[in-house]
Structure 1
Amino acid sequence: MSLCTPLLTNVTAENCDALFACSLLIASFTFASRTLNSGFTPMGLVEVIEVFTLVRGTASIVEKARSWIEQGDMRLLLKFTRCAQQIPKSKNSHEVHTQLEALIGDYEDIETYSFQSAAQAIVLDSIKHLLDVFDSCIASENQSTILAWPAIVDSEFLDLLSQKEDGSLVALAYYGAVLHVMTKAWWMEGWGKFLVILAADCLDEHAQSAIAWPLGVIKNDERSS
């Protein structure tokens, strides 16, 4: 990271492939090394935001150099290809879509929540982005598509997370539930459950009612296991 970070302000046709590959490896390794089974010190919200920032770094490189990357050896990594492992499409995908749409509906009803309007708008956009990314995940049959969410949300959403704002924690819990249901990659093992539990720990007992579905996803999976 110490070698590639200074180059992020000077992405060129010559270095973009190397930077893109390096950023993907760093982000993937960070996810893999911080799974619940890894034995690392448990992560907190600050560390999660740092991991999300790494994902955003990869997206930033693509944004600056997409035309060059599309012409190079890394171009296949930009395409949504069919995954070898089939994504569950019936009950799970329908339930996730329904729950995300319901949450969006709740946030669009301004009388339902007491968040400040600016914060509510940021949270609402983040949930809409999550639904869009989820739908793309299903359409492309590519589990990795769901990992794009931290790169798509507004940077102000991460600021809300750092402040432990209730709405941002609710969105984080829903993202965790979607990861838990949809992603089976070995290097993401435990992340969905971890994010749901982390969000729940940061919310008071009353606010936890807003993440009943993510908590239920985790509990149901534990019972079936």
Structure 2
Amino acid sequence: MELLHHYTVSTSLTFSTRSDVLEVYRLAAPEIAFSDPPLMNGLLAISGLHRAHCCSDIEKRRLYSTIAAAHQNIALGAFRERLSNLTRENCPGVFLFSAWLTLYVLGSMHRLQSADPDAASVIDFEDPSEWIRLMRGVPSILRQSAVWSWIRESPLRPILEPGLVTDEPLSPELERRFATLRRALIDEPLPVSTPDAPQMDEEECKVYAESLAMLQKYTAFILRPSTPEGPLDLVGTTMIWPNIVPDRWVDYLGQHRPGALVMLAQFAVLVNNLRGFWWAKGWGQGLVVIAWKLLPPEWKSLVEEPAERVGCTLGAV
């Protein structure tokens, strides 16, 4: 009951920047979970992880982390089985769990087992593609038109509407930034000096061109100076890009390819806007640092601008 209460009064208020979406998470989600045991496990998992982040006592932090992981594992197993038989009745639970999964993945990558007082705001992983692969566990079946129609007809509809992402012009500063990235990744690819690593070929440049165009669109929209005509869910909009980039881009990131690492650092600028949420603390700076550490020397200058934007001092890394 403790974790359910914590979810209702606290955790559910940390999932969005839109009040109507927060109401869905606070009221509709628990109601659905009461008749969907695996979803209740998912709810208790994200609540337990939040409690762990709130604890200054290391033993309590570890305890809540362990409880959260146990609930999450139960939920994951149940929802994997459900994917082969999605119906109008059970798809709201799958959809909600998939939404929580993104935030759970981000929040679970902090050093919660460490006694460091800053443990809950420092991310800890070696493979820069790991978190994206876990987050992209939202299956493609959820994108089927029937499923979306079912969700639109349910109380969860506001979650599907993060705000219309329109094509916006880049500021002169960002225009120069993306022109530099296009030149280095696509038009005149920089050489790769890492021993035994292949140079960028046509396929890799094509994947980067597609991924960079999408990143530019979301960057221009999220960082635009004008106020949007409709409500914007900054959380949902920001986390779209890592969920829609091509699988090959994620593969390149897992291989520590410089082009993918540079784009990861640029995406960190958007993630940094979410740093006020417990699950996003440290992610902006953390992603830049990871990219910097893995890049060969001749590529490092391409992450200096993102580092400045997220307040990261690379000289201290």
**TM-score of the aligned structures, taking structure 2 as reference length:** 0.58
Partner of 2:263: 171
Partner of 2:77: 2
Indicate whether 1:14 and 2:74 are aligned.
Answer: no
Partner of 2:150: 68
| 1-structure distance, mates of 2:233, 2:219 | 10
Q: Supply the AA of the counterpart residue of 2:134.
A: L
How is 1:48-127 mapped onto 2 (pairs within 5 angstroms)? 48-58=128-138, 60-64=140-144, 65-81=147-163, 95-96=173-174, 98-110=176-188, 115-127=200-212
How is 1:76-225 mapped onto 2 (pairs within 5 angstroms)? 76-81=158-163, 95-96=173-174, 98-110=176-188, 115-137=200-222, 138=224, 139=228, 141-144=232-235, 145-180=237-272, 182-186=273-277, 187-219=279-311
Alpha-carbon RMSD across the aligned residues, in angstroms, is 2.9
| 1-structure distance, mates of 2:142, 2:190 | 38
Deviation for aligned residue 1:219: 4.2
Aligned length: 210
**TM-score of the aligned structures, taking structure 1 as reference length:** 0.79
Contact 1:23 1:54 in 2 (8 A): no
Deviation for aligned residue 1:8: 2.3
Deviation for aligned residue 1:135: 3.2
Q: Secondary structure at the match of 1:3?
A: helix
| 2-structure distance, mates of 1:221, 1:81 | 34
Q: C-alpha offsets along residues 45-68 of structure 1, whole Å, 9 cap, x if unaligned? A: 2xx423212332336354122111
Q: Supply the AA of the counterpart residue of 1:193.
A: Q
| 2-structure distance, mates of 1:111, 1:61 | 36
| 2-structure distance, mates of 1:21, 1:53 | 18
Q: Percent identity?
A: 23
Higher relative contact order (CA 8 A, sep 6+): 1
| 2-structure distance, mates of 1:20, 1:98 | 39
Deviates more, 1:20-29 or 1:188-197: 20-29
Deviation for aligned residue 1:39: 7.7
Gaps of 5+ in 1: 83-91
Q: Supply the AA of the counterpart residue of 1:127.
A: L
Partner of 2:61: none
Q: Supply the AA of the counterpart residue of 2:264.
A: L
Q: Supply the AA of the counterpart residue of 1:5.
A: R
Q: C-alpha offsets along residues 27-50 of structure 1, whole Å, 9 cap, x if unaligned? A: 2122123246328882112xx423
Q: Supply the AA of the counterpart residue of 1:119.
A: E
Contact 1:27 1:55 in 2 (8 A): yes
Q: Secondary structure at the match of 2:120?
A: coil
Contact 1:177 1:192 in 2 (8 A): yes
Deviation for aligned residue 1:201: 0.9
Q: Supply the AA of the counterpart residue of 1:133.
A: Y
Deviation for aligned residue 1:192: 1.2
Q: Supply the AA of the counterpart residue of 2:187.
A: D
Deviates more, 1:162-171 or 1:60-69: 60-69
Structure 1 residues 16 and 23: alpha-carbon distance in aligned structure 2, compared to 1, 3 A threshold = same
Q: C-alpha offsets along residues 177-199 of structure 1, whole Å, 9 cap, x if unaligned? A: 2322x324412111111111111
Q: Secondary structure at the match of 1:2?
A: helix
| 2-structure distance, mates of 1:96, 1:62 | 34
